[in-house]
Amino acid sequence: MLSEIKEQPIILITNDDSIAAPGIKALAEAVKDLGRVVVVAPDKPQSGMGHAITIGYPLRLHESFLIDGVEAYTCSGTPVDCVKLAVDKILHRKPDICLSGINHGANHSINVIYSGTMSAAMEAAIERIPSAGFSILDYSMEADFSAAKVYARKIAEFMLKADPKQHLLLNINFPILPEGLIKGVKFCRQANAKYEERFLEREDPHKKTYYWLTGDFINFDEGEDTDVWALANDYVSIVPVQFDLTDYKLKKELENNWNL
């Protein structure tokens, strides 16, 4: 099977939980013999950074260690900065594929918008690099990545064999289950689900108010073709993602009705 993969492809790995997260180690272990694996990850947690880039400050890169046989670097910026810097200053070319994660915590439904993990994958896809973001529905540092590693490897093999010119951007989430209990993989649409947020109000020692973001996840979507449904029914969910945000239907409606 591997004979179909081109000689020594370059696999760029990044994440948003930082180089110190078990998830990125698991991802590198899963694919390290599929090519030259290079890790460029944030030097501190960057969850919720979305597609942020660093404009007003300069960035730093440092050599680092993750696992044997894998080059690793830390970057002082966001997950998107990691991808940009990796291509321009470390690889000096585009990698063959880019893998982001494995994120500690779900990135299904609307989370795709807020997730640094998915934004890093999207940044690579904007650069026409086949890319995938991986997340597991388990926030804990002791999360069991063994099933996720099996699937991540299989998906990376498919990505390496795909037409490199094809737009390929995947949002992959894993349920908290051992491999034997996972029913398989579902290609899904992004569920219409989101967080209903409330801010917790507290007082600092100087009697000034400050706010903490909190919230509950609410699924408004009854469809059985969504990522939220697939995960709740013991499947790995894969949502193919685009970055043309044009709402073509609304465009037509406004053209017909708004006489500006």
91 binds its own copies per the rule CB under 8 A: no
Decide whether 69 or 91 has the Cβ nearer to its own copies.
91
Q: What are the φ and ψ backbone dihedral angles of 235, each rounded to 5 degrees? A: -105, 155
DSSP string over 114-156: H-HHHHHHHHHHHTT--EEEEEES--STT---HHHHHHHHHHH
Q: Is residue 61 involved in binding its own copies (CB under 8 A)? A: yes
Q: How far is the CB of 245 from its own copies (least distance, A)?
A: 5
Which 190-209 positions form the footprint of its own copies (CB under 8 A)?
190, 192, 194, 197-199, 201-202, 208-209
Residue of 70, 72, 97, 168 that binds its own copies (CB under 8 A):
168
Please state the closest distance from residue 200 (CB atom) to its own copies, in A.
Answer: 9
Interaction of residue 1 with its own copies, rule CB under 8 A: no
When binding is defined by CB under 8 A, the residue of 6, 141, 146, 154 that contacts its own copies is 154
List the x/- string, 111-130, binding to its own copies by CB under 8 A. -xxx----x--x---x----
The reply to whether 255 sits near its own copies by the rule CB under 8 A is: yes
Q: Say whether residue 106 binds its own copies (CB under 8 A).
A: no
Buried-exposed string 76-98: b where 16+ CB fall within 10 A, e elsewhere: bbbbbbbbbbbbeebbeebbbbb
Do 129 and 84 form a contact (C-beta atoms < 8 A)?
no
Pick the binder of its own copies from 5, 59, 182, 232 (CB under 8 A). Answer: 59
Residue pointed to by tokens 């569920």: 191
Sheet of 61-64: strands edge to edge? 61-64, 71-75, 36-42, 10-14, 97-104, 131-136, 169-174
* Residue 89 binds its own copies, judged by CB under 8 A: yes
Q: Is 147 in the site for its own copies (CB under 8 A)?
A: no
183 counts as binding its own copies under rule CB under 8 A: no
Binders of its own copies in range 19-48 (CB under 8 A): 45, 47-48
Q: Are 10 and 93 spatial neighbours (Cβ–Cβ below 8 Å)?
A: yes
When the beta carbons of 69 and 202 are compared against its own copies, the nearer one is: 202
| Token pair for 166 | 């094809």
In sequence order, what are the residues at sequence separation of 6 or more whose Cβ sits closer than 8 angstroms to the Cβ of residue 92? none
